[in-house]
Amino acid sequence: MAGACGAAFGSMLAGLAMPLVLQRLVDGPVAERDFSALPWFIGAFALLGVAEAVLLGARRLLVIRPATRLETAMRADVAAHIQRLPLSFHARWQSGQLLSRTVSDITEIGRFVAFSAIYLVVNVAALAVGLVVLAWLAPALALVVFLAYTPMVVATTVFEQRFRVVARAAQEVGGDLSTTVEESVLGVRVLKVFGRAPETVRRFTGQARRLRVLELRKLSYTAALWWVITALPDLAIVAMIGYGGYGVATGALSLGTLMAAVTVATHLRWPADTLGWLTADASTAAAAADRYWQVRDEPVTVADPARPRPLPSPVRGEIRLEGVHYAYPGGRAAALRGVDLTIRAGSTVAVAGATGSGKSTLLSLLSRLDDPTSGRITLDGVDLRETALADLRSAVCNAFDDPVLFSGTVRDNVTLGVRDAEAPGARDAGARPADGGGAGGSGGAPGADAGAGTGAGRAPGGGVPDGAVWEALRTVRADEFVAALPEGLSTVIGEEGLGLSGGQRQRLALARAILPGPSVLVLDDALSALDVRTEREVEAALRGVLGRVTTVVAAHRPGTLRLADQVVFLSGGRVAATGTHEELMAREPAYRLLVRPPLPVAARETRAPGPGEAPLPGPAEAPAEAQVPAERAVAEDGMAGRGRPG
Ligand SMILES: Nc1ncnc2c1ncn2[C@@H]1O[C@H](COP(=O)(O)OP(=O)(O)OP(=O)(O)O)[C@@H](O)[C@H]1O
């Protein structure tokens, strides 16, 4: 960058030297009509011209590498930073705003660094050097130029302040525009069925119009500045010619000096003219940099400790929550309020509770998507904050109710959680090179795919053998539909997994969670889109395959709750009760109401209570103390919800 500045400055000096050679030529050989030295003058002009051109080219070559490298580095840096930021940050920020900051704002900064920054420095220097040269040639003419250029500085300062505000507003609206596009594309089905597509288009058009108004305001500021910036140097030249012409006529000034002074003033027009848009560029880049640093300065609260404590090997999977509180930034009430819980290694624990009771929040803390506001969580006795995030996330895998799939193949999506070193089955891949077919429950198709996709039955992503991928798919009953896809594991599924049913997407997300062979599996309503029969099959298969894995599952359905060794019943962010499903059904009316709400009278008359279940009181016969807390629990949790799914 310094080299580029030097080259630009050199080319500017070469340009400014030409009028001085001109002065010598006019006052010397031309005035004396002695052209013997003319070739030297021509040579000097040619040399200065070539130097100016070469140095300009050098500036461009020198700057382009560091500037593009800076742009790429900033982009990579902010993208990595966004990935490190906790869940609470992502809950606050619109994705469109993040998109515009990582894409268009950094482009603005890159452009400023590559071009405008250098010329802002060099052109201001050119104006200063030009004035010094003029003062040396003819102080009176320098004064004329100086007086003309002073209002330009004032105008530019005022312009910069105003333009920056509008530039910032335009960038914000650009971010909103990206958010609207993104939401309208992701939510296209909802918008269509509720007939809201035209309204979204109207919203988009409104934002586009607001952007246009702001862009027009930017242009009107620039136009006003341009007017000042173009008019004043012209006026200066007119004044110089008038005053200088009088000086030449009276003999106070040589013709060569006047020509040189006017040429210098003309030469300074470009640096003066460009001040307008260079300042505009600087303001835009400054506003973009503000927006960039707004994200970059967000503290990474969930980070590796300075000296990470290793988890025991192998991880047993005992989890303890001690006085865990969690409050979302800006949330009205704490989502978790003093949760104490022990989850035995290898056990299956179901977390139940009304909507908004804190299930998803609790589950997200187990893999440190965020840290408790107070209290602590340990895994095999190690505080989650004391261990390396990579180790923790190898040990704990999540599947969510909203299964996010990325654009890529089925294989890419399912092997997403596997790091190269830990590829399951990689050790014994040699022993069963083509076991993709064997693992797939549907006969030859999976094997055929394994062969067709990779040639050796090994997946490219993470070095996971296709056999292991099929095994995971079979466990979650996804092997049949994947085998029926046109290219099996290599079928490209669209962004967000569109093209697959909700249940199919959930099963792929589940296969992704079990493939790395975690010690703790966290399932946040991860089977909610499956029909009851498939859910039972998947649960049974999961139990068989996962064996001693600690499983924490947020669940509503009695079938899932019954399978758990322990059910934790949350209410309003607190553990209201723990026990087996049957115990809670027998002794917790609120739990009973949640899991099996009162049936309509006709149905209640024909239905006998289940095993270990006390008869369910109807609204009329329920004891007041049993019914009120239950209803209040449900109502409170419902009230606490902000309509945002966990
Ligand atoms: N990003 C957020 N910002 C502020 N409050 C939030 C946020 N996400 C959740 N909450 C609040 O935290 C509480 C617990 O939410 P959580 O999603 O954990 O409930 P849940 O039991 O999983 O609900 P559901 O069964 O509906 O998924 C709710 O009151 C909810 O409104």
Q: Is the dihedral of CA 291, 293, 297, 298 positive or negative?
A: positive
Ligand 1 probe mutation, 355, 361, 363, 524, most atoms within 8 A of CB: 361
What is the Å distance from ligand 1's center to 241 Cα? 76
Position 599 pLDDT exceeds 70: no
Place of tokens 């650009």: 174
Q: Is residue 301 part of a domain?
A: no
For ligand 1, atom 12, the nearest C-alpha belongs to 335
Whether residue 166 is found in the same domain as residue 31? yes
For ligand 1, atom 1, the nearest C-alpha belongs to 91
State CA 12 to chain mean position distance: 42
Lowest mean pLDDT among 211-225, 485-499, 519-533, 590-604: 590-604
Return the higher-pLDDT residue of 277 and 14: 14
Whether residue 112 is found in the same domain as residue 251? yes
Under a CB-based contact definition with an 8 Å cutoff, are residues 442 and 497 in contact? no
Q: Which atom of ligand 1 is nearest to the CA of 331?
A: 4
Q: Is residue 138 part of a domain?
A: yes
Give the residue from 464, 499, 534 where a domain finishes. Answer: 499
Q: Which atom of ligand 1 is nearest to the CA of 357?
A: 21
For ligand 1, atom 27, the nearest C-alpha belongs to 646
Q: Is residue 627 part of a domain?
A: yes
Q: Which two tokens stand for residue 410?
A: 């089925």
Q: Is residue 46 part of a domain?
A: yes
State the average pLDDT over residues 322-326.
Answer: 94
State CA 490 to chain mean position distance: 28
Ligand 1 probe mutation, 94, 324, 328, most atoms within 8 A of CB: 328
Q: What is the mean pLDDT of the chain?
A: 80
Q: Is residue 505 part of a domain?
A: no
Q: What share of the chain is helix, strand, coil (3-state, %, to 5)?
A: 65, 10, 25
Q: Which atom of ligand 1 is nearest to the CA of 570?
A: 21
Q: Is residue 420 part of a domain?
A: yes
Lowest mean pLDDT among 149-163, 293-307, 582-596: 149-163
Whether residue 385 is found in the same domain as residue 418? no
Residue among 380, 382, 484 at smallest CA distance from 441: 484
Return the higher-pLDDT residue of 210 and 60: 210
State the average pLDDT over residues 18-24.
Answer: 86
In whole angstroms, what is the distance from residue 640 CA to residue 331 CA?
A: 9
In whole angstroms, what is the distance from residue 23 CA to residue 160 CA?
A: 37
What is the Å distance from ligand 1's center to 572 Cα? 10
**Interval 87-133: pLDDT, tens:** 888 878 888 888 888 888 999 998 898 888 888 888 888 888 888 98
* Ligand 1 lining (C-beta closer than 6 Å): 91, 328, 331, 335, 353, 355-361, 640-642, 644-646
Instruction: Give percent of the chain with pLDDT exceeding 90.
Output: 19
Position 454 pLDDT exceeds 70: no
In whole angstroms, what is the distance from residue 227 CA to residue 237 CA?
A: 16
What is the Å distance from ligand 1's center to 413 Cα? 27
pLDDT at 140: 87
For ligand 1, atom 16, the nearest C-alpha belongs to 358
Whether residue 565 is found in the same domain as residue 450? no
In whole angstroms, what is the distance from residue 564 CA to residue 555 CA?
A: 10
Q: Which two tokens stand for residue 508?
A: 């792929």
**Interval 477-513: pLDDT, tens:** 888 888 888 888 888 886 655 578 878 888 888 888 8
Whether residue 383 is found in the same domain as residue 331? yes
Q: Which atom of ligand 1 is nearest to the CA of 646?
A: 17
For ligand 1, atom 14, the nearest C-alpha belongs to 358
- Non-local CB neighbours of 237 within 8 Å, separated by 6+ positions: 262, 265, 266
For ligand 1, atom 31, the nearest C-alpha belongs to 641
Other CB atoms within 10 A of residue 608 CB: 7
Give the residue from 470, 499, 528 where a domain finishes. Answer: 499
Give the residue from 249, 270, 296 where a domain finishes. Answer: 296
State the average pLDDT over residues 281-308.
Answer: 90
Q: Is residue 302 part of a domain?
A: no
Place of tokens 């104490």: 340
Which DSSP string corresponds to 526-582? Answer: TTTTS-HHHHHHHHHHHHHHHTT-EEEEE--SHHHHHH-SEEEEEETTEEEEEE-HH
Question: Which amino acid appears at position 336 of this protein?
Answer: L
SS3 sequence of 409-444? EHHHHHCCCCCHHHCCCCCCHHHCCCCHHHHCCCCH
How long, in residues, is the chain?
646
Ligand 1 probe mutation, 359, 401, 525, 637, most atoms within 8 A of CB: 359
Q: Which atom of ligand 1 is nearest to the CA of 637?
A: 29
DSSP bridge pairs for 569:
352, 577
pLDDT at 44: 92
Residue among 415, 417, 458 at smallest CA distance from 436: 458
Whether residue 285 is found in the same domain as residue 321? no
Residue among 85, 238, 100 at smallest CA distance from 179: 100
Confidence of residue 570 (pLDDT cuts 50, 70, 90): very high
φ and ψ of 33, to 5 deg: 55, 40
For ligand 1, atom 8, the nearest C-alpha belongs to 646
For ligand 1, atom 24, the nearest C-alpha belongs to 355
Residue among 60, 119, 108 at smallest CA distance from 273: 119
Pairing state between β 374-379 and 382-383: antiparallel
Enclosing domain of residue 428: 407-499
Q: Which two tokens stand for residue 189?
A: 């089905």
Residue among 93, 109, 115, 117 at smallest CA distance from 172: 93
The CATH number of residue 261's host domain is 1.20.1560.10
The CATH number of residue 638's host domain is 3.40.50.300
Q: Is residue 308 part of a domain?
A: no
Whether residue 278 is found in the same domain as residue 333? no
Lowest mean pLDDT among 300-309, 492-501, 547-556, 588-597: 492-501
Q: Which atom of ligand 1 is nearest to the CA of 573?
A: 14
Which DSSP string corresponds to 468-511? Answer: HHHHHHHHTT-HHHHHHSTTGGGPEEPGGGTTS-HHHHHHHHHH
Whether residue 214 is found in the same domain as residue 321? no
Whether residue 128 is found in the same domain as residue 221? yes
What is the Å distance from ligand 1's center to 425 Cα? 38
- Non-local CB neighbours of 409 within 8 Å, separated by 6+ positions: 487, 489, 490, 491, 492, 493
Whether residue 120 is found in the same domain as residue 185? yes
What is the Å distance from ligand 1's center to 104 Cα? 33
pLDDT at 130: 87
Whether residue 137 is found in the same domain as residue 283? yes
pTM over the 0.90 mark = no
Whether residue 399 is found in the same domain as residue 414? no
Confidence of residue 212 (pLDDT cuts 50, 70, 90): very high
- Non-local CB neighbours of 122 within 8 Å, separated by 6+ positions: 5, 8, 9, 12, 271
For ligand 1, atom 30, the nearest C-alpha belongs to 641
What is the Å distance from ligand 1's center to 542 Cα? 27
pLDDT at 600: 56
Number of folded domains that form the chain: 3
Confidence of residue 594 (pLDDT cuts 50, 70, 90): confident
